[in-house]
Amino acid sequence: MESKKMEEEEEEKAEFEESEIEYVSYGGEHHLPLIMRLVDQELSEPYSIFTYRYFVYLWPQLSFLAFHRGKCVGTVVCKMGEHRNTFRGYIAMLVVIKPYRGRGIATELVARSIKVMMESGCEECSEVEDGTCYFMFV
């Protein structure tokens, strides 16, 4: 019964001001469990710790987290590299927990990652979802 009540509370839209959301760059090992929890909780794709480490250790500057009153409510994890003679950024994981969705948090997380990609020389950014590849030219 307690579990169902928690799920219902989780589904309700969170009340907050946009200015209350704090965005931070990946800051090291202490952020890894937060990213893992969000992705495991919200995405259907199961990842091993090695997958997370692959992204955050090689491209820590491309991962960002969103916090509301100390609670991690969103994250983006990315990479970049050469692809068909183009330097491309890739959005690997993007999560915002349900009560915080539709409020611009994911947009801000992606914007921060793309800004760093552009500063690093990326010519385009892609995301693969359900076998479909989306390109955002930067």
Q: What is the pLDDT along the chain (138 residues), one digit of tens a residue?
A: 444 444 544 557 878 888 899 999 999 999 999 999 999 999 888 899 999 999 999 999 999 999 999 999 999 999 998 877 778 889 999 999 999 999 999 999 999 998 999 899 888 776 644 444 444 444
List beta partners, residue 130: none
Evaluate whether residue 127 is within a structural domain. Answer: yes
- The count of structural domains within the chain is 1
For residue 116, what pLDDT is reported? 93
Distance CA 77, CA 95 (A): 9
Please list, in sequence order, all residues whose beta carbon lies within 8 angstroms of the beta carbon of residue 46, skipping any fewer than 6 positions away. Answer: 40
The domain spanning residue 66 has which CATH number? 3.40.630.30
Whole-prediction pTM: 0.81
CA atoms within 13 A on the CB side of 136: 15
Distance CA 122, CA 89 (A): 6
Structural domain range at position 112: 17-137
Distance CA 131, CA 92 (A): 13
